[in-house]
Structure formats: C-alpha cells, structure tokens
Chain A
Amino acid sequence: MTVTDISPANTARNISYALRGIILIAVLALALAPMWASRADLRLFMEALSFLALAQMWNLLAGYTGLISVGQQAWVGLGGYFFFALAMFAGMPVLLAIPLAAIAAALVALPTAWVAFRLQGAYFAIGTWVIAEVFRLIAAQNGALGGGSGISLPVEIAKSLAESRNGREMVMYYLAFGIGIASVVLVWLLLRSKWGLALTAIRDSEPAAEAMGVVTRRVKFLIYILTAGVTALTGAFIFLQKLRITPDAAFSVNEWTAFVIFIVVIGGLGSIEGPIIGVLVFFALREIAADWGSWYLILMGAIAIAVMLINKRGIWGAVQVRWDVAAFPVRKILPERSRD
C-alpha cells in the first residue's frame, strides 16, 4: 500500500526533483537551440550564457570566499585582449587562442592577487577596481592593439572558424553553450569536492572555518585565480563574438561587473541556483525596459538596494527560507539509519 507523504520534507524533495527536471529540459532545449531558435534568439542566448558564466564566477568569489571584487572587468578585458593578440600576432587557431588567453590571464592574476590581498573588505573591492583601471590604461597606451580606439579582428580569423555565416554562428553558439554550462558544472563539482566543505565553511563563518583548520587565505587565493581564468575565458569568447575590442568596452565596470553583481545579488548570493535565476530576471528586465535608457539602470540600482534591505540572499534565499530545496545538492547527507 502506498501512503502519500505530504510532510514539508517530502514537498521540498518533490520541488527539488521538479526543478532538476526543468533544468534538464532547459539544457536540452538550449543544446538544440540552433534547430528551433531564430538568429536573434541565438544571439540573446549566447549573451545570456556568457553572463551566466561571469555571474557564476563572481558568485563563487563573493558568495563563498567573501572576496567582493568590483574589478572583474580586468579579466574579461585581459581575456579579450590576450585572445586578439594570440590570434592576430601569434597566428594561433581561434579554438586554441581562447583557452590560452584564459591561462595567460590567470598567470597575470597571480601577482595581482599578491598585491590586492593586502587590502581587506571594501578596500579590496576598490583595489580590484584600481587594478582593472591600470589594465585599461595600459591597453589604451598599446599602439599595436589599436590604443584607445581599439582594434577589429581580421575577417580571415573569423572565417577560420567556418566558411559560412551559419557555420560560424553554430560554432560560436556552442562555444557559448559550453562556457555557460561548464561554469555551472565547475562550481557544482567544486562545491561537492573536499573544497566544497571548506568554501561553505568560509561562507558561513570565516573564524569558524579557520578554527576547523581551513587555510582560508590559500583557499581564497586559489579561487581568485580560478575565477580570473574562467572570467577571462568568457571574455575571450565575448570579444570573438563582437569581433572588435576597445579598452573602454573591454574593461567596462558597468557591463562586466555592475550587471554581473546585479544578476548574482537579485538571484541569490552564495548558491548555484541564484546566478541562474538572476540571469533570467536580468534579461527579462532588459527586454522589457530596453527603451527606458538611463531609467532602466536607475531601476536596476534601486532593485539591488532593495534586495540588500529586504533579503541579502536574493530570490533563491527567499525560496529556501520557505522550502529546503536544492536544484544542485551539494551537501553530503549522512544516510538515514534504516528502520526495521
């Protein structure tokens, strides 16, 4: 005989399964998008997937290690510029130049972290911004890469991806798909590994984590480097898609940090689900308010402030207060003792 269990725990489990189902369907739909979506839709998806990766990385940094960076544009921009340099001057194939650009940016992040980690809290935040500005100003001074007015990717490099326009768009789309999905999977796997426990401990209470023997400084350092690398990977892709890079676009604090922070904060800081929800809200809002000009940005700022005043953990945090649900379970749950 089956008994319907309507306990809250069971409801939460059912919701979790439903969420996982929805996500699976969404991933499948995205995987097959070139078959059903219009060209404009595909462009939108590409952008959303890029922002998903940026948001997952900012969230990994701020939500789990407490390092609030307002200088993530440094890595987007460096990724883009390194990619242009490798593809244009080293003549490297595009699909090799993108990951190499990410690795190069991660190498730059090593000394950068060494300097930035001298600052704490909000000072760290502004320090990362200064560093991003330094990169922007250096890029603007670099004549070979077009200086302040920037540079375009030669047509033959874009054509090396595929001869036809449709073919190129297909390759680009699957690059975006790969980066977006990989960013989620990466964070998920990381949180399920032995690192996850350390990161969750740091998120919940840094002193407690220290007491448990987590070397918080080293964890933070490594996460900073990792997020710089993946952010740069995304940046390299973004500027491959744009085919043109300028210092102001590459190192834009509004585009690559303010929007990303907005996405994470409204969706829910310190969870994998949060950035996904945030991306959906952000792009929905943008479609609605596209013609509002600066009022749209004012609205965004106001929403971010409201979230901080109402619930620091955003939409996903509010959901979790009601139901103990997880689309991406990361907790290690001890097996229940079997009842005879």
Chain B
Amino acid sequence: MVWINAVLQGVLLGGLYALFAAGLSLMFGVMRFINMAHGDFIITAAYLLLALVTGFAIHPALAVPLVIVALAAAGYLNQRILLNRVLGKDILPPVLVTFGLSIIIQNALLEVFSADSQKLQAGWLDTASFKLSEDLAIGALPLLMFLAAVAVIAGLQFVFYKTPLGRMLRATSDDPEIVPLMGGSNAHIFAIATALASVVVAIAGIFLAMKTNFDPAAGPARLLFAFEVVIIGGLGSLWGTLIGGIILGVAQTVGAQIDTGSQVLAGHLVFLALLVVRPRGLFPKT
C-alpha cells in the first residue's frame, strides 16, 4: 500500500513539475530560447505572493491575480528590453545573460527576504484531504495542483491551436524571418510568448509557495526539474510535459520511499536513464 501511495503522490507532484516545465517548453518552442533564470522567476513569484499576503495583508483572491499580472508584465518587458537583444544563432549570449539574471535575482531576493526558508500558510488547503481507503488519501492542495496543471496545459493547447495568437506563435516557431511579412512584429511576438510563459511561471510559483519551503537559492533546482520534464516529455510537446512531470514526480516519491534522502537523486537518475534510451523524449514533435 505504501508503494501505491508513493505513486499516487508522485503523480500529483508531477502536476507541479509540469507547471514548472510548461513555461520553459513554451519559450523554447517559439524562439528556441532557454531561460537559465526560469527557476528563479518561479521563486520570485512565490516570494511576491508571500509578500503580498503576509507582508501587505492582501486577500489571496486578489494577491494571486496580482502576482500573475506582475509576472506577465515583467516577462514581456524583460524580453522586449533585454532578451530580444541576444536572440540569435549563437546560443552563448542568451545562456550567459539569463545565467547572469539568475545570479542577480537570487542575490536580490536574498537582500530583500534573507536566507531563511519560508512557506505560505494555505489555511484549510494545507490540511484538507479526501480519503480513498483506510490508508490512502489525496491532499486537497496536491489535487488542486494537479488539476491546475491539466487546466493550464489544456489552456495553452487551446491558445496555440485555436486562436489567431497561437497561429502567430506557431508561425514564428516555424519561420520567424517572414512573419513580419504577415504583419507580425517578431520583437512583440517573442515578448508575448514570454509573457504567456510567465503567467505559467506565476501559477507554478503560487503553488510552490503553498506546497513547500523555499529560499532565495531554491530556483536552480526548479530549473533542473523543469528541464528534465521537458526533455522526458519531448521538446515542444505540451501534453508530453504533463507526462514528463508525472514520470519525474513518481520517480522522486518512489525514490524517497526506498531511501528518504534519495528523492531528488532518484529523479535525476531516471531522467538520465530516459535520456540514454529516448534522447528525443517520449513524445517528440515531428
């Protein structure tokens, strides 16, 4: 029974990991761009929510949309002002610029919030659970997290395949050079893609704040999880991201069941094993 429970909790944890990964995947899909500060932006969103709710006593129902809007705006401006300048064939500038951003964000958070690890009290969400059997229960928060992940991915899928914006994003992914001949501005479309990714980053950060303890240096670990999920699922595949998240989540919880200290290590090892067996991921985009 403990194993079934471990798998079940892993699946739900996979929802959070899919949320970590979806933004990274989206940015790569549209502009072949990897944001090394991705995890730090997730942590920034978590701190922002914490500051609004506990620092400024703003009701969560208001604070959550505020965080989302703030991250989206920041993402748009960051792309427009900074990142668009380093996009191009040479991958070194974007990697180094976002690596530099990562260091700046971590230390700025440290300066503002100190190195103490924190967590947002989510009230009844922290404790509520649904009993499935005598020794099997699903926590309300993990369940909500998982459902949010499914909703976010379904939403992105809708935007990408059913709206004019999605058409433009896919066209940009195919052939950015001639998109201006269709009336689209590359700089704007890239920034919109980053804003959209940042909305997902904000949602991921909001759940992270409620789910676990975090500190200013917690970003890189989230970048690594997000990256592993994207590779496992297959580059550019949104639903693959959910599957990848579940695989990583289950690997970690089952690993923790075998040996408490091995949760993260087990996830990394399963990732590396899958990388050897399926280098293009489980659902590669053709």
A/B: CB atoms within 8 Å of each other: yes
- Residues of chain A touching chain B, judged by Cβ–Cβ distance below 8 Å, are 62, 66, 68, 70, 115, 118-119, 121-123, 125-127, 129-131, 133-134, 137-138, 140-141, 253-254, 258, 261, 265, 269, 293-295, 297-298, 300-302, 304-305, 308-309, 312
Q: CB < 8 Å: which of A66, A118, A130, A137 contacts B227? A: A130
State whether B86 touches A309 (Cβ < 8 A).
Answer: yes
Number of A-B contacts (CB under 8 A): 120
State whether B265 touches A300 (Cβ < 8 A).
Answer: no
B239 interface hit (Cβ, 8 Å)? no
| Listed residue (B110, B227, B261) with the most chain A CB atoms within 10 angstroms of its CB | B227
Q: How far is it, in angstroms, between the C-alpha of A312 and the C-alpha of B94 when the chains are bound?
A: 11
Set of chain A residues within 8 Å of B180, measured between Cβ atoms: none
The 10 closest A-B pairs by CB, nearest first: A122-B34, A294-B107, A301-B103, A301-B104, A301-B100, A137-B265, A304-B100, A118-B279, A305-B100, A121-B91
B264 interface hit (Cβ, 8 Å)? yes
Q: Mark B90-133, 1 if CB is under 8 A from A, else 0.
A: 11111111011111101110110000000000000000000000
Q: CB < 8 Å: which of A119, A265, A298, A308 contacts B275? A: A119
Q: How far is it, in angstroms, between the C-alpha of A141 and the C-alpha of B90 when the chains are bound?
A: 39
Set of chain A residues within 8 Å of B227, measured between Cβ atoms: 123, 126-127, 130
Q: How far is it, in angstroms, between the C-alpha of A129 and the C-alpha of B227 when the chains are bound?
A: 11
State whether A261 touches B96 (Cβ < 8 A).
Answer: yes
State whether B111 touches A294 (Cβ < 8 A).
Answer: yes
In the complex, residue of chain B having the shortest beta-carbon distance to the beta carbon of A265: B96
B262 interface hit (Cβ, 8 Å)? yes
State whether B275 touches A118 (Cβ < 8 A).
Answer: yes
Set of chain A residues within 8 Å of B271, measured between Cβ atoms: 130
State whether A129 touches B107 (Cβ < 8 A).
Answer: no
Set of chain A residues within 8 Å of B275, measured between Cβ atoms: 115, 118-119, 127
Q: Mark B257-276, 1 if CB is under 8 A from A, else 0.
A: 00001101100110110011
Set of chain A residues within 8 Å of B85, measured between Cβ atoms: 309
Set of chain A residues within 8 Å of B93, measured between Cβ atoms: 308, 312
B223 interface hit (Cβ, 8 Å)? yes
State whether A305 touches B101 (Cβ < 8 A).
Answer: yes
B147 interface hit (Cβ, 8 Å)? no
In the complex, residue of chain A having the shortest beta-carbon distance to the beta carbon of B227: A126
Q: How far is it, in angstroms, between the C-alpha of A312 and the C-alpha of B272 when the chains are bound?
A: 32
State whether B34 touches A123 (Cβ < 8 A).
Answer: yes
How many whole Å from B276's CB to the nearest CB in chain A?
Answer: 6
In the complex, residue of chain A having the shortest beta-carbon distance to the beta carbon of B273: A115
State whether B107 touches A295 (Cβ < 8 A).
Answer: yes
Contacts A261-B96, A308-B96 given: A126-B272 contact, CB under 8 Å? no
B243 interface hit (Cβ, 8 Å)? no
Instruction: Give the residues from 41 to 99 in chain B that come closer than 8 angstroms, CB to CB, to chain A.
Output: 82, 85-86, 90-97, 99
Set of chain A residues within 8 Å of B215, measured between Cβ atoms: none
Q: How far is it, in angstroms, between the C-alpha of A298 and the C-alpha of B100 when the chains are bound?
A: 8
State whether B224 touches A133 (Cβ < 8 A).
Answer: yes
Q: CB < 8 Å: which of A134, A305, A309 contacts B265? A: A134
Q: How far is it, in angstroms, between the C-alpha of A105 and the C-alpha of B190 when the chains are bound?
A: 41
Size of the chain B interface, CB-CB below 8 angstroms = 42
- Name 6 interchain pairs, CB-CB below 8 A, sorted by A: A126-B36, A127-B227, A133-B268, A141-B265, A294-B110, A308-B93
Q: How far is it, in angstroms, between the C-alpha of A7 and the C-alpha of B141 when the chains are bound?
A: 74
Q: CB < 8 Å: which of B33, B34, B231, B269 contacts A134? A: B269
State whether A305 touches B34 (Cβ < 8 A).
Answer: no
How many whole Å from B30's CB to the nearest CB in chain A?
Answer: 15
Set of chain B residues within 8 Å of A70, measured between Cβ atoms: 36, 95, 99
Contacts A118-B279, A141-B261, A298-B108 given: A126-B99 contact, CB under 8 Å? no
How many whole Å from B169's CB to the nearest CB in chain A?
Answer: 20
Q: How far is it, in angstroms, between the C-alpha of A293 and the C-alpha of B112 when the chains are bound?
A: 13
State whether A295 touches B111 (Cβ < 8 A).
Answer: yes
Q: Mark B8-36, 1 if CB is under 8 A from A, else 0.
A: 00000000000000000000000001101
Q: How far is it, in angstroms, between the C-alpha of A62 and the C-alpha of B96 when the chains are bound?
A: 11
State whether A298 touches B104 (Cβ < 8 A).
Answer: yes
| Listed residue (A141, A265, A297, A308) with the most chain B CB atoms within 10 angstroms of its CB | A308
In the complex, residue of chain B having the shortest beta-carbon distance to the beta carbon of A312: B93
State whether A298 touches B103 (Cβ < 8 A).
Answer: yes
State whether A301 touches B101 (Cβ < 8 A).
Answer: yes
How many whole Å from B39's CB to the nearest CB in chain A?
Answer: 10
Q: How far is it, in angstroms, between the C-alpha of A119 and the C-alpha of B271 when the chains are bound?
A: 13
B220 interface hit (Cβ, 8 Å)? yes
State whether B224 touches A130 (Cβ < 8 A).
Answer: yes
Set of chain A residues within 8 Å of B33, measured between Cβ atoms: 122
State whether B94 touches A122 (Cβ < 8 A).
Answer: yes
| Listed residue (B82, B86, B92, B94) with the most chain A CB atoms within 10 angstroms of its CB | B92
Q: 8 new A-B pairs (CB below 8 Å) besides A130-B224, A308-B100?
A: A115-B272, A129-B224, A130-B227, A131-B272, A295-B107, A298-B108, A304-B103, A305-B104
Instruction: Give the residues from 162 to 187 in chain B that come closer than 8 angstroms, CB to CB, to chain A.
Output: none
How many whole Å from B21's CB to the nearest CB in chain A?
Answer: 12
State whether A134 touches B268 (Cβ < 8 A).
Answer: yes
State whether B95 touches A122 (Cβ < 8 A).
Answer: yes
Q: How far is it, in angstroms, between the C-alpha of A300 and the C-alpha of B265 when the chains are bound?
A: 31
Q: CB < 8 Å: which of A68, A295, A305 contacts B92? A: A68
Contacts A130-B224, A134-B272 given: A68-B95 contact, CB under 8 Å? yes
State whether A312 touches B110 (Cβ < 8 A).
Answer: no
Set of chain B residues within 8 Å of A300, measured between Cβ atoms: 100, 103
Instruction: Give the residues from 149 to 163 in chain B that come closer than 8 angstroms, CB to CB, to chain A.
Output: none
Q: CB < 8 Å: which of B82, B110, B224 contacts A126? A: B224
